[in-house]
Structure 1
């Protein structure tokens, strides 16, 4: 019973597949506070950079609007001319401000979690319309965290507002005694820095919210031990099935090798463990090729088939091991082993000629064949 309970507890870290599947569903870590902070800071920076141009546009518009000649007071089209001039004067600074703020908003929305779009997340969900689910969200842990964040934002913003009033109080009270339009530009300068100060109040909230959202998302994505096992089976296959498939593949490969053994020119062996069947086309169009190789029982089976088809068997333990570990089936023998293999083949051809009465008995094969140290096993 305890084991079953442990298997249902989400104690395992989410796998990459789990995170990828969740991302496709739109389930990624997001921080609204980070997004808000970046939008506000981008707007504050834009206001500082463009504030003087906005103030100048305001000055030009107000001056033109309230400075009328006698003829203009009787011109019914003058109002539309003023409107056109106002739009032209304010268009560039306001559009620049909005573009910078928009860039901040776009970056703020993808700063945590990156860009992600999911049709599944965009689709309607019945759970979002359920009153019961709504009450659970209102009374859950997330709602409490959001409430605490809201209270923290109010407190921090009020504190920063108080700081801004203390900093700019004297300057604001003396604006009425400054000359126009210098007081207009001075007021805009105070607004810019006061706005930046208030926007900076969101930074500590965002710095707290980002790791919390990352932790929360990781906790939601955690898996039970059974889910991890099931995913591994689905992605990699059942270990028992894979083992049986590998065994069948090995048997099929071994059967194919055994069919090629009778075509070999020689079988090089280590007396008890290794066997390697080699074929060489005497026209020289191709280097010696390994037709089959085996270890232990398979090695004995290769030798058995070789004997049944009168394939010469030569004992050379060092060469057998070197070819076994360096060459795959149906691949050519490495160039570094050509000399050793050539001596084996020459001995076999001389032995065949002797047995057929066409040559002298060959000398015994040298035990110390030229095998490079790096290929010895």
Structure 2
């Protein structure tokens, strides 16, 4: 209820937009469909009028001949009517199917792939007398009335401009052959549809812009709604804290498991421990495998000793590595020399032990 008293000035979130699309709430304008249907009808009439007219003329002739041959029985009349109906349907089918396909295509383009049956579900809130009264007496009713009057005026002006010369030309058309009369009527009909369609297209563009603005306004959210959505999406803060704690524990466990792969552990000696590994084939500089302080440092040193990894005390280096280094990344450039000295000492000891073992095995 608090949301009803808060201004919705915040931009809608992606989740809000997605939910609106799933409910079929998208900006659409019936005027766009009407405008393109008028222009499509003009195209169909311009291209398909001759074939349809020929089919209807042939149908009229065949119907007249077949009517003369009727036997007058109920069955005969029924068969004749069925034949006339199917023939008329076949003659008009191209125009009808073209217009229906055009209407479906325009609606689908406006929907932009959204198919939702949510608007078809009964909404009892629409039966609320208070809301219906506000809808009738609010600002929308006068606006819709104004839009209707504006459309009527624009369409009337377009029709007048399209048929301005018809009053003077129609009497002469009536004196021509039936074919010329039909062609004249077709010309004026196409002209009327084009002019009215273009006028309606201007109305449609303005109406679509208004519908888009109104749609964006209806999706706007209050600060409380955004906070509630974030809480629903991300979860309770306590749950998030537990997740972060579990993630840190898992990362620490993985870090400690990598201590056995280190070449050396540099210590403070009691407060800080940093495990380093240098593999020339994989990296240009030593990598920090693990580091920690206090209890974690003690655990790193214990794991290193258990795995036989050398533990070297170097307070300045341990502090510098802990302060500037990152786990899983190479050591800072300014520590190359100091770390190289430690690694050289460790590798030298390792080589001497290996040589000592080889000498003892020879003896």
TM-score category (smaller protein): 0.7 to 0.9
Q: Which has the higher helix share?
A: 2
Q: 1-side partners of 2:125 and 2:326: how far apart?
A: 67
Q: Mind listing any 5+ residue stretches in structure 1 that lack a counterpart?
A: 281-289, 328-338, 360-377
Q: Which residue pairs with 1:293 in the alignment?
A: 290
After superposition, residues 131-210 of structure 1 pair within 5 angstroms as 131-210=129-208
Q: TM-score, normalised by structure 1?
A: 0.71
Q: 2-side partners of 1:313 and 1:55: how far apart?
A: 100
Aligned-residue offset at 1:233: 2.3
SS in 1 for 2:247: helix
Q: Are 2:44 and 2:95, in contact at CA under 8 Å, matched by a contact in 1?
A: yes
> 1:141 and 1:351, CA in 2 relative to 1: closer, same or farther beyond 3 A?
farther
Q: 2-side partners of 1:113 and 1:311: how far apart?
A: 66
SS in 2 for 1:26: coil
SS in 2 for 1:117: coil
Aligned-residue offset at 1:127: 1.8
After superposition, residues 258-337 of structure 1 pair within 5 angstroms as 258=256, 261=259, 263=260, 266-269=263-266, 275-276=274-275, 292-294=289-291, 300-301=297-298, 304-305=301-302, 309=306, 311-314=309-312, 324-325=328-329
> 1:83 and 1:163, CA in 2 relative to 1: closer, same or farther beyond 3 A?
farther
> 1:110 and 1:322, CA in 2 relative to 1: closer, same or farther beyond 3 A?
closer
Q: 2-side partners of 1:348 and 1:103: how far apart?
A: 85
Residue 27 in structure 1 maps to residue 25 in structure 2:
yes
Aligned-residue offset at 1:166: 0.5
SS in 1 for 2:54: helix
Q: Mind listing any 5+ residue stretches in structure 2 that lack a counterpart?
A: 280-286, 332-339
1:213-269 CA-partner distances (Å, limit 9, x unpaired): 0110110110001211221222223556434532342134324544664x4563244
Q: Which residue pairs with 2:350 in the alignment?
A: 349
Matched length:
334
Q: Are 1:306 and 1:313, in contact at CA under 8 Å, matched by a contact in 2?
A: no
Q: Which residue pairs with 2:46 in the alignment?
A: 48
Question: How well do the aligned residues superpose, as a CA RMSD in angstroms?
Answer: 4.4
SS in 2 for 1:174: helix
Q: 2-side partners of 1:171 and 1:151: how far apart?
A: 30
Q: Which residue pairs with 1:39 in the alignment?
A: 37
Q: 2-side partners of 1:106 and 1:155: how far apart?
A: 28
Q: Are 2:265 and 2:276, in contact at CA under 8 Å, matched by a contact in 1?
A: yes
Q: Are 2:163 and 2:188, in contact at CA under 8 Å, matched by a contact in 1?
A: no
1:49-95 CA-partner distances (Å, limit 9, x unpaired): 211122223333445566x69x9478648977976775566444511
Q: TM-score, normalised by structure 2?
A: 0.73
1:168-219 CA-partner distances (Å, limit 9, x unpaired): 3333221211023332233233223223322333111101110110110110
SS in 1 for 2:177: coil
